[in-house]
Amino acid sequence: MNTSDYDFFLPPDRIAQTAVEPRDAARLLVHRVMSDETQHGHVRDLGDSLEDGDLLVVNNSRVRHARLMARRSSGGRVELLFLEMVAEPSGAWRVLVRPGKKQRPGDLLVVGEGLGVRLLERESGANGESLSTWIAAMEGAEAEARSDEALLETFGQVPLPPYIERASDDPRLEQDAIRYQTVYATKTGSVAAPTAGLHFTPELLARLESRGVRRAEVTLHVGLGTFQPVQVEDPEEHKMHAETYSLPQRTADLVSETRQRGGRVICVGTTAARVLETCAQPGGLVAPGAGETRIFLRPPHGPRVADALLTNFHLPRTSLLMLVASFIGTQRMLRLYAEAIEAEYRFYSYGDTMLLFGVRRED
Instruction: Find the range with the poorest average confidence among 21-25, 66-70, 237-241, 287-291.
Output: 237-241
- Distance between CA 314 and CA 306 in Å, rounded? 19
Higher pLDDT, 162 or 306: 306
* Mean pLDDT calculated for residue range 117-137: 80
pLDDT tens profile 254-287: 999 999 999 999 999 999 999 999 999 999 999 9
Position 128 confidence tier, pLDDT thresholds 50, 70, 90: low
Class of domain 67-155: mainly beta
pLDDT tens profile 282-308: 999 999 999 999 999 999 888 999 999
* Mean pLDDT calculated for residue range 123-132: 64
Phi and psi torsions of 41, nearest 5°: -160, -140
pLDDT tens profile 215-253: 999 999 998 777 678 888 988 888 888 899 999 999 999
Q: Would you state the pLDDT for residue 236?
A: 85
Greatest distance between any 2 Cα atoms in the chain: 65
- For every residue of 291-304, DSSP letters joined together read EEE-----TTPPPS
pLDDT tens profile 75-120: 899 999 999 999 899 999 999 999 877 899 999 999 999 999 999 9
Q: Would you state the pLDDT for residue 230?
A: 86
- Distance between CA 116 and CA 138 in Å, rounded? 6
Please determine whether the domains at 3-63+177-357 and 67-155 fall in the same fold group of CATH: no
| 141 pLDDT more than 60 | yes
Mean pLDDT, rounded, of the chain:
93
| 363 pLDDT more than 90 | no
Provide, rounded to the nearest whole percent, the portion of the chain with pLDDT above 70. 97
Q: State the alpha helices, DSSP H only, in the chain.
A: 141-145, 148-155, 172-179, 202-210, 249-261, 270-278, 319-328, 330-342
pLDDT tens profile 304-361: 999 999 999 999 999 999 999 999 999 999 999 999 999 999 999 999 999 999 877 7
- For every residue of 50-80, DSSP letters joined together read --TT-EEEEE-EEE---EEEEE-TTS-EEEE
Asked if 224 and 132 count as a contact pair (C-beta separation under 8 A), the reply is no
| 36 pLDDT more than 90 | yes
Q: Would you state the pLDDT for residue 96?
A: 93
**All residues at 6 or more sequence positions from 331 whose CB lies less than 8 Å from its CB, including other chains:** none
Position 14 confidence tier, pLDDT thresholds 50, 70, 90: very high
Q: CB count, 10 Å around CB of 336?
A: 19
Asked if 25 and 185 count as a contact pair (C-beta separation under 8 A), the reply is no
Angle at 195 between CA 202 and CA 359, to 5 degrees: 95
| β-bridge partners, 212 | none
Residue 11, classified by CB atoms within 10 Å of its CB into exposed (0-12), middle (13-18) or buried (19+), is exposed
Q: Would you state the pLDDT for residue 205?
A: 98
pTM of the model: 0.93
Where exactly are the structural domains of the chain? 3-63+177-357, 67-155
DSSP 8-class letter at 148: H
- Distance between CA 353 and CA 198 in Å, rounded? 10
Asked if 268 and 217 count as a contact pair (C-beta separation under 8 A), the reply is no
CA distances from 111 to 81, 83, 119, 181 (A): 12, 17, 13, 24
**All residues at 6 or more sequence positions from 206 whose CB lies less than 8 Å from its CB, including other chains:** none
Position 74 confidence tier, pLDDT thresholds 50, 70, 90: confident
Q: Which long-range contacts (CB under 8 A, 24 or more apart) does 91-94 make?
A: 91/137, 91/138, 91/148, 92/120, 92/135, 92/136, 92/137, 93/135, 93/136, 93/137, 93/138, 93/148, 94/123, 94/133, 94/134, 94/135
> Which architecture characterizes domain 3-63+177-357 according to CATH?
3-Layer(aba) Sandwich (3.40)
